[in-house]
Amino acid sequence: MFKWETEGSRFVMERLLEAGHEAVYVGGAVRDIALGLTPKDIDIATAATPEEIEALFRRTIDVGKEHGTIIVLVGEEQLEVTTYRSESTYSDYRRPDKVTFVRSLHEDLKRRDFTMNAMAINHEGRWIDPFNGLFHIEKRTIQAVGQADERFEEDALRIIRAVRFVSTLGFTIESETQRAMKKHASLLSHLAVERIKQEFDKMFRGDYLVQALRILYETGLHHYLPETKEEITLESFEYVEQPIEGWVLWAQCHQLASTELARAYKLSKKEREAIARYLTLLQEQEWTPWIVYCYSLDELLFVRRVNARCETESELRQMKERLPIQSKRDLAFDGRDVKQYYPNCRGKNIGQLLEEIERAVVLQKVSNDTEEIIEWVNEHVYERLCIK
């Protein structure tokens, strides 16, 4: 058993081999092993048909039998096992119109996107590398398998995947592959925006994001992405550490409101609301105690870096620590107190009253003490919110 294998992957591999089916490790796991990384997900390709795979294992999930993919469950592990296949005609520039199961590993590998992803390792640890993926990994180069034009015409998402790999790996793109990306950039308009969004999420996690975005613009891909401008400033993207921060700067650079960005890229409500918070904070000139209270330290630190603000991380931490309360849960007055002391305060007025109390405590207009809060409410907001 190799150090990167899991018990589940070894069990599946041995079971397939014992049944007389050729099987190898493939995909991103093999690439990661070549890079000296621990693979996250281990995929297996085999000459066995989907029906033969299902017959060998007690617990399986059919996630795409027509394309040869079966999930095999081993304990808590889920292993993706796919039959060797060839593909032909891609009328939607994304999915093959016809999949043919084959017995040849070489036929399976040659349909893959980039040479670094078209390698395999057999059960003895022997590398199968018909397209020089190891050489290109050593040279830190992304190169299409075979004819780059054909690979991108088959699946236009590969164009964005190349950019994503630049961001996550720091590789350069081989000249012919980059030429083909530019030539076929218009094919991006055929892709579901959800798939583009998934690739952007991964791209925004990369350590070489600025380098990737530069290629995205140099190849003209931005012309075929939703709501993009001709030129943007890339330097601030150096500070991105998580996808939501990347989306914030993408919105800012293209002058998009959070609602516009969410509509264009099918973002979730949670993502839209988070982006709106960041965009508001980016516009704040003075960071009052209320601003520091309302935003997390991570949010404050990111905006500090982007806007080159003078506050240090230590100063922001101290500002946070000096606040009278850290969250609404710390408030010495809650909804039960409102009902007890102000029974006439109803409906939305309850939430508004609590918010005004919270703000007053944070801004030290009143101490976080129940009796003092009652006195402050009686003096400042009682008539407005607590009388029918």
| Cβ proximity of 279 and 251 under 8 Å | yes
If asked whether residues 41 and 127 sit together in one domain, one would say: yes
Residue 90, domain member (yes or no): yes
If asked whether residues 311 and 371 sit together in one domain, one would say: no
Residue 31, domain member (yes or no): yes
Average pLDDT for the chain: 94
Residue 337, domain member (yes or no): yes
Give the separation between CA 167 and CA 321, rounded to whole angstroms: 36
Q: Is the pLDDT of residue 371 over 80?
A: yes
What is Dmax (Cα atoms) for the chain? 85
268 DSSP 8-state letter: -
Q: Which long-range contacts (CB under 8 A, 24 or more apart) does 87-96 make?
A: 87/111, 87/154, 90/153, 90/154, 90/155, 92/190, 93/153, 93/154, 93/155, 93/156, 93/187, 93/190, 93/191, 94/155, 94/156, 94/157, 94/190, 94/191, 94/192, 94/195, 95/155, 96/67, 96/154
If asked whether residues 290 and 342 sit together in one domain, one would say: no
DSSP 13-53: HHHHHHTT--EEEETHHHHHHHTTPPPSS-EEEESS-HHHH
Q: Please give the model's pTM, rounded to 2 decimal places.
A: 0.89
pLDDT band at residue 110, thresholds of 50, 70 and 90? very high
Residue 263, domain member (yes or no): no
What domain range includes position 111? Answer: 1-139
> How many domains are there within the chain?
3
If asked whether residues 288 and 364 sit together in one domain, one would say: no
Q: Using one digit for the tens of pLDDT, what is the confidence trace for 139-165?
A: 999 999 999 999 999 999 999 999 999
- The domain boundary, picked from 118, 139, 160, lies at 139
- The domain boundary, picked from 117, 139, 161, lies at 139
If asked whether residues 307 and 334 sit together in one domain, one would say: no
Q: Using one digit for the tens of pLDDT, what is the confidence trace for 307-325?
A: 988 889 999 999 999 999 9
**Which CATH number do you get for residue 340?**
1.10.246
**Which CATH number do you get for residue 42?**
3.30.460.10
pLDDT band at residue 95, thresholds of 50, 70 and 90? low
